[in-house]
Structure 1
Amino acid sequence: MDQEVQVWREGRAGRIRLQRPQALNALNLGMIQSIHEALNLFSVDPDVHFLLIDAPERGFCAGGDVRGIRAAALADDRSAARIFFAAEYKLNQAIAACPKPFVALVDGVCMGGGIGISVHGSHRIATERAMFAMPETAIALFPDVGTSYLLPRLPGALGFYMGLTGARMVGADAVHAGLATHFVRRESLPALEAALVRDGVAVVAAFAEPLPAFSLAAARPVIDLAFSAPSVADIMARLAADGGAFAQETLAILRLHSPSAVHWSFAILRAGAHRSLPEALAAELALAVQVTSLPEFFEGVRAVLVDKDRAPHWQPARLEDVDPAAINALFADRPPAPETAALSDR
Structure 2
Amino acid sequence: MTSKTVVFELLPTESGHLIGQITLSAEKSLNALSLEMIRQIAPQLAAWRDDARVACVLLRGAGEKAFCAGGDVVAMHAAIRAGDFALTDAFFGEEYALDYAIHTYPKPILAWGHGIVMGGGLGLMAGASHRVVTERSRIAMPEITIGLYPDVGASWFLNRLPGRLGLYLGLTGASFNAADALYVDLADFALPSSARDQVFAGLGALSWQGWGEADKAVLGNYLRDQMRQHALELPASPIRSHFDAIRSLMDYESVDEMVAAICSYNGADDWLRAGAQKLAAGSPTSIRLVLAAQQRARQLSLAQVFEMELNLSRQCCRHPDFAEGVRALLVDKDNAPHWSPATLAEVTPDYIDAFFYAP
Partner of 1:207: 226
Within a 5 Å distance, the mapping from 1:29-178 to structure 2 comes to 29-57=35-63, 58-178=65-185
* Greater Cα shift, 198-207 or 184-193: 198-207
Question: Structure 2: which 5+ runs fail to align?
Answer: 207-217
CA–CA distance in structure 2, aligned partners of residues 230 and 210 of structure 1? 41
Label 1:127 to 1:80 Cα distance change in 2 as closer, same or farther (>3 A). Answer: same
- Whole-angstrom CA distance in 1 between matches of 2:239 and 2:157: 19
* Equivalent residue for 1:259, pick from 276, 281, 284: 284
User: Are residues 285 and 228 of structure 1, via their aligned partners in 2, closer, same or farther at CA, if it must alter by over 3 Å?
Assistant: farther
Quote the RMSD (CA, aligned, Å).
2.1
Q: Do 1:255 and 1:319's aligned partners in 2 also have CA atoms closer than 8 Å?
A: no
**2:240 corresponds to 1:217:** yes
Deviation at 1:228, TM superposition (A): 5.2
Partner of 1:185 in structure 2? Answer: 192
Q: Secondary structure at the match of 1:275?
A: coil
Q: CA deviation at 1:203?
A: 1.1
SS of 1:278's partner is helix
Can you give the 5+ residue segments of structure 1 that lack an aligned partner in the other structure? 338-346
1:23 partner letter: S
2:92 and 2:310 in contact (8 A); partners too: yes
Shift of 1:240: 6.5
Structure 2 length-normalised TM: 0.87
> Is the contact between residue 172 and residue 211 of structure 1 (CA under 8 Å) also seen in structure 2?
no
Correspondence for 1:322 among 347, 354, 357: 347
Deviation at 1:315, TM superposition (A): 2.3
Identity %: 37
Q: Tell me, what secondary structure is at the counterpart of 2:54? A: coil
How many aligned positions are there?
334
Offset of 1:41 from its aligned partner? 1.4
Post-superposition CA distance 1:162-213 (Å, at most 9, x none)? 1111111112222112211111111111111111232151311112256755
SS of the equivalent of 1:118 reads: helix
Contact 1:137 1:262 in 2 (8 A): yes
Report if aligned partners of 1:188, 1:207 keep a CA contact under 8 Å in 2.
no
In structure 1, what is the Cα distance between the partners aligned to 2:243 and 2:311? 33
- Measured in 2, the distance between the counterparts of 1:59 and 1:327 equals 34
Residue of 2, 14, 23 corresponding to 1:17: 23
Secondary structure in 1 matching 2:20: strand
Alignment-mate amino acid for residue 182 of structure 2? V
